Chains A and B, each alone.
Chain A
Amino acid sequence: MNTRAASLKNPSGVLERVYVDHHGWLRHWLQSRLGCPDAAADLAQDTFVRVVARREELQRSPLRQPRAFLRVIAGGLLVDHLRRRDLERAFLDALSARPDPTALSAEEREILLETLDRIDKLLDRLSAPVRRAFLLSQLDGLGYAAIGRRMGVSERTVKRYMQQAYRQCLAALL
């Protein structure tokens, strides 16, 4: 991190200025959406790490609206953070509703949560009906005809949804 900080030295000091001028504002902006100062601080930090990764680009063309730029980057991180937080809550709820929540070791839990997180990210890109059909097939084990009846669409449409879901998941995995 130190060597990286040193490499930030540049004639315009663009990055330092973005950081100094807007860090407080960004933290506040994130906190007003998250309600949690620690998570806001972490996300603000992650945002600046991403800005640093784009420093060459930024030195070529200085930012005209640094806050708008930061907000776009932070927004992506924010959405993902909220998704993950939501997922963890649902995971803990689901576990605590099981007859024996201790049947899984801490490690198994962690692995399961990571797998769920990976799948959840893939599913997040799907439209609601495609996702629903996919989950009914993969997790509830329903056939295409039963899914069609449940969703009020034809079996052919279900197959099309499934193909679409697989395609988007594969594209994200490759």
Chain B
Amino acid sequence: MSRSAAVSDAAVSPPILDEAAGWLALARQRALDADEAAQLEAWRRRSAAHEQAWQAALELQRMLRDVPPGLGAEVLGRHRLDRRSVLKSLAILAVAAPAGYAAWLQAPGWHADYRTATGEREDVTLPDGSRLTLNTASAVRLAWSDKERRLVLVEGEILVATAAGSKSDPRALLVETAHGTIRALGTRFSVRETGDGRTGVSVFADAVAVQPGAGGPAHRLEAGNTLAFDRLRVFPAAAHDTGASAWTRGQLVSRNQRLGDFVAELARYRPGVLRCDPAVADLRLSGVFQLEDTDRILDLLGETLPVRVERRAPFWVTVTVR
């Protein structure tokens, strides 16, 4: 009985679904005019299946309306486990010879990719409860196993804050970059692919151990300090200023910074080309800027410094002589 009901439910054919989705997409784009509203009414009356599809559409709209927007955006917009790659790994297993099982059990349990576009910033909770923040244009792959919690920084910049209880997690927490590995000995640190062939590390609580990829001794870096390393060596550490983690709050902090360096930093957060004319690159500036609106930051430069912001196109901007 219930089976035959299910069959009649399935009578909503793919074309009807397409049309219902088309109406929803149009109604979301703009208010329907009187003609269109009448057409939609007529469409609904065409068959029971049409009406049934529209009832589902109304239910969907109701569900979405019931969600408070801000909270919904945070919860539903969070970075997700990559379902497909989880399932794919499992599917590979299903056809693997029994001898392959043991190897699988030792391989990283599952992978997840986290990625931000230019100008985006994202907070993620990792499976062990640690927090990961991705800065603009960043990508991280998770390689979790029974023995270690490894984060592979593919590009960009991340801040890692290990979970309060994770000292009891016997597995090491590692960040791997193209140049080597950073082992967490404590709770909060950031890692950045600087784009000039080095990895930058800043520690905000406790310490980390930095290991260049080519080998050699690990280098311990304590809270309050920052350093760069490449595959061969670790460069001298220096105290970082308080602005080092400002990006996690959506801010760019500069203290007596060269305009050229500031613009290069700002360019990370904007799609397209942003350049600084060498003639003004040595001007200095200080301030706290909100990264949410980089156009506003550019306007501020024009208002406070003897420079002109030349917009040849929305995505082609030069800071030059006034």
List residues of A whose CB falls within 8 A of some B CB: 29, 32-33, 35, 65, 67-69, 71-72, 75-76, 78-79, 82-83, 86-87, 89-91, 93-95, 97-98, 112, 115-116, 118-120, 123-124, 132, 135, 137-141, 143-144, 151-152, 159, 162-167, 169-171, 173-174
Contact = CB atoms under 8 A, between A and B. Distances in A.
B17 A75 contact: no
B214 interface: no
B103 interface: no
B205 interface: no
B69 interface: yes
A167 B67 contact: no
Interface stretch (B89-97, B220-228, B273-281): B89-97
A135 to B, nearest CB: 5
Interface stretch (B22-30, B183-191, B233-241, B284-292): B22-30
Given A159-B29, A166-B60, 16 more contacts: A29-B105, A32-B109, A67-B101, A68-B96, A79-B83, A79-B87, A82-B86, A91-B75, A119-B67, A139-B67, A140-B69, A140-B73, A162-B28, A170-B60, A174-B10, A174-B53
Contacts of A159: 25, 29
A166 B72 contact: no
B40 interface: no
B110 interface: yes
Ranked nearest first, the 9 interchain pairs of A and B with the lowest CB-CB distance are: A167-B21, A75-B90, A166-B21, A163-B25, A166-B24, A162-B25, A139-B73, A94-B74, A173-B56
B90 A164 contact: no
A76 B86 CA distance: 9
Given A68-B93, A68-B95, A86-B125, A173 B73 contact: no
A124 B83 contact: yes
29 contacts: A35-B128, A72-B91, A72-B94, A78-B86, A79-B83, A83-B83, A86-B81, A89-B125, A90-B75, A90-B78, A90-B125, A91-B75, A93-B125, A97-B74, A98-B71, A116-B67, A118-B63, A124-B83, A132-B77, A135-B76, A137-B28, A138-B28, A139-B72, A140-B73, A144-B29, A163-B21, A166-B60, A170-B20, A174-B9
Contact of A75 (B72, B78, B87): B87
A126 B51 CA distance: 25
A65 B68 CA distance: 47
Interface of B: 9-10, 12, 17-18, 20-22, 24-25, 28-29, 52-53, 56-57, 59-60, 63-64, 66-78, 80-81, 83, 86-87, 90-91, 93-96, 98, 101, 105, 109-110, 117, 125, 127-128, 146, 271
Nearest to B26: A159
Given A135-B73, A152-B271, A159-B25, A170 B81 contact: no
A115 B73 contact: no
Nearest to A125: B83
A169 B80 contact: no
Contact of B59 (A82, A166, A173): A173
B28 A116 contact: no
Contacts of A173: 56, 59-60
A174 B56 contact: yes
A83 B24 CA distance: 27
Nearest to A75: B90
A115 B60 CA distance: 11
